[in-house]
Amino acid sequence: MLVPRLSMPNENRRVSQFCVSPVYAIGDVHGMASLLELLLATIDDDAHRCDAKPRVVFLGDIVDRGPDSRRAMEIVHATLQEREGSHFILGNHDYLFREALNNHLGDPALDHWLSGMGGKSTLRSYSHRMPGWAGELPDLLLPRYSHHLALLNRAADMVIVNGYCLVHAGIDPKKPLAHQDERDLREIRERFLDVSDPLEKVVVHGHTITESELPEVHSNRIAIDTGAYRTGRLSAVVIAGNSEPRFLYVSHSD
Residue 38: inside a domain? yes
Residue 215: inside a domain? yes
Render pLDDT for 24-46 as a digit per residue (tens, 0 to 9): 999 999 999 999 999 999 999 99
Instruction: Find how far residue 102's CA is from the centre of its chain.
Output: 20
Is it true that the peptide bond before 138 is cis, omega within 30 degrees of 0? no
Bridging pattern class, strands 246-252 and 233-239: antiparallel
Domain count within the chain: 1
Helix axis angle for 107-116 and 92-101, nearest 10°, is 140
Residue 84: inside a domain? yes
What is d(CA 160, CA 174) in angstroms, rounded to the nearest whole number?
Answer: 18
Residue 18: inside a domain? yes
- pTM for the complete prediction? 0.91
Please give the pLDDT value at position 1.
Answer: 34
> Across residues 164-172, what is the average pLDDT?
98
Per the structure, the complete domain to which residue 43 belongs is given by 2-90+157-230
Render pLDDT for 53-89 as a digit per residue (tens, 0 to 9): 899 999 999 999 999 999 999 999 999 999 999 999 9
Residue 32: inside a domain? yes
What is d(CA 163, CA 71) in angstroms, rounded to the nearest whole number?
Answer: 33
Residue 176: inside a domain? yes
Residue 8, domain CATH = 3.60.21.10
The answer to whether residues 56 and 90 touch, using CB atoms and an 8 Å cutoff, is no
Q: Nearest Cα to 221, choosing from 194, 197, 203?
A: 203
Please give the pLDDT value at position 67.
Answer: 96
SS3 158: strand
